[in-house]
Chains A and B, each alone.
Chain A
């Protein structure tokens, strides 16, 4: 009896471990920046290079930072979702254009629409490094205190927006400034 049950038990344990492993996404690296202050930056605005974008200006508001680039293929997939989000006007969406060129970025927005209220132009990717960006697109949720509360790696899906990001935004809006 035992001589059959022991290998069977071991096999089941192995299957359980492997199936958990299959579900894990190795690309989803937990960010150490969660619940830490959003790294400060001051970058030129994409449309008006004389003006600067800085997270400090957003104190007291709940907002999203979306890191994108015209060379990023998955950004195309999430763009309609962001456009739809911008139309509801539920939360301020700020773009961080990461390691891109001005002309490419502008052309991309012209073709696909611009969901961002303002876009910071991070040409050399320095700010991206400060925010721990390793794969565009990435989306951060920042609360009224200027703390990063959530990070979404990869394209934002309607599902993720509806189930995780927007409920969190609504929660954070209730918090005192």
Chain B
């Protein structure tokens, strides 16, 4: 590898690491399991300010505070469930990207399958309806008449 390439690669690495550091605060974890827990939780929880982002992706002030809160709770050895309960007690089910199955969210969970089922039923009826109406069977009398008509046509042409 030539010198120019090395310099270019070095610049690129420097550039990338800068942008990564600029957006995200740095957390030190005691062990990989805690880091995994942090990643899992910030991915599962919704940011309430920019509602279509999770806490991991959001740059909102509140998301930053909540990440800090989660980090501290992990340091205290709290379980996933304890941290999620903490968030739900304050912000409601809305903070969860995966809403729990309840009477109020039931339609959310079964709705798509219900609509798919209705669609399949309509499709089946439609296909069956088309198949029966496509070729009406002729009885023998009609068959003979059709034969005669065709013969007449042939004679006229010749």
Q: Is A135 an interface residue (CB 8 A)?
A: yes
Of the listed stretches A23-31, A59-67, A154-162, chain B binds A23-31
Specify which of B48, B66, B69, B92 is in contact with A135 (CB 8 Å cutoff): B48
Q: Would A129 and B48 be within 8 Å (CB), given that A29-B91, A134-B91 are in contact?
A: no
Residue of A nearest to B122 (CB): A6
Residue of A nearest to B60 (CB): A134
Bound-complex Cα distance A125 to B93 (A): 21
Inside 8 A of B49's CB, which chain A residues have their CB? 134-135
Contact at A130–B48, with CB atoms within 8 Å?
no
Q: Would A29 and B92 be within 8 Å (CB), given that A99-B61, A134-B48, A134-B49 are in contact?
A: yes
Specify which of A26, A33, A125, A132 is in contact with B65 (CB 8 Å cutoff): A125
Inside 8 A of B90's CB, which chain A residues have their CB? 32-33, 129-132
Inside 8 A of A30's CB, which chain B residues have their CB? 92, 94
Residue of A nearest to B62 (CB): A134
Residue of A nearest to B65 (CB): A125
Inside 8 A of B91's CB, which chain A residues have their CB? 29, 32, 132, 134
The interface on chain A, measured as residues whose beta carbon lies within 8 A of the other chain's beta carbons, has a size of 16
Inside 8 A of A26's CB, which chain B residues have their CB? 51
Inside 8 A of B141's CB, which chain A residues have their CB? none
Inside 8 A of B21's CB, which chain A residues have their CB? none
Bound-complex Cα distance A99 to B61 (A): 10
The interface on chain B, measured as residues whose beta carbon lies within 8 A of the other chain's beta carbons, has a size of 15
Inside 8 A of A125's CB, which chain B residues have their CB? 61-62, 65
Question: Among A26, A124, A131, A132, which residue has the most Cβ atoms of chain B within 10 A?
Answer: A132
Tally of contacts, chain A with chain B, CB under 8 A: 36
Bound-complex Cα distance A161 to B134 (A): 67
- Chain A residues 112 to 153 lying within 8 A of chain B, measured CB to CB, are 124-125, 129-132, 134-135
Contact at B94–A129, with CB atoms within 8 Å?
no
Shortest Cβ gap from B107 to chain A (Å) = 12
Q: Is B115 an interface residue (CB 8 A)?
A: no
Q: Is B89 an interface residue (CB 8 A)?
A: yes
Inside 8 A of B69's CB, which chain A residues have their CB? 129
Q: Mark A19-43, 1 if CB is under 8 A from B, else 0.
A: 0000000110111110000000000
Question: Among A26, A33, A134, which residue has the most Cβ atoms of chain B within 10 A?
Answer: A134
Residue of A nearest to B92 (CB): A32
**27 A/B residue pairs, CB under 8 Å, sorted by A:** A26-B51, A27-B51, A29-B48, A29-B91, A30-B94, A31-B92, A32-B88, A32-B89, A32-B90, A32-B91, A32-B92, A32-B93, A124-B65, A125-B61, A125-B65, A129-B66, A129-B69, A129-B90, A130-B90, A131-B90, A132-B90, A132-B92, A134-B48, A134-B49, A134-B62, A134-B91, A135-B48
User: Assuming A31-B92, A32-B92, A129-B69, what are 20 further A-B pairs, CB within 8 angstroms?
Assistant: A27-B51, A29-B92, A29-B94, A30-B92, A30-B94, A32-B89, A32-B90, A32-B91, A33-B90, A125-B61, A129-B65, A131-B90, A132-B90, A132-B91, A132-B92, A134-B48, A134-B49, A134-B91, A135-B48, A135-B49
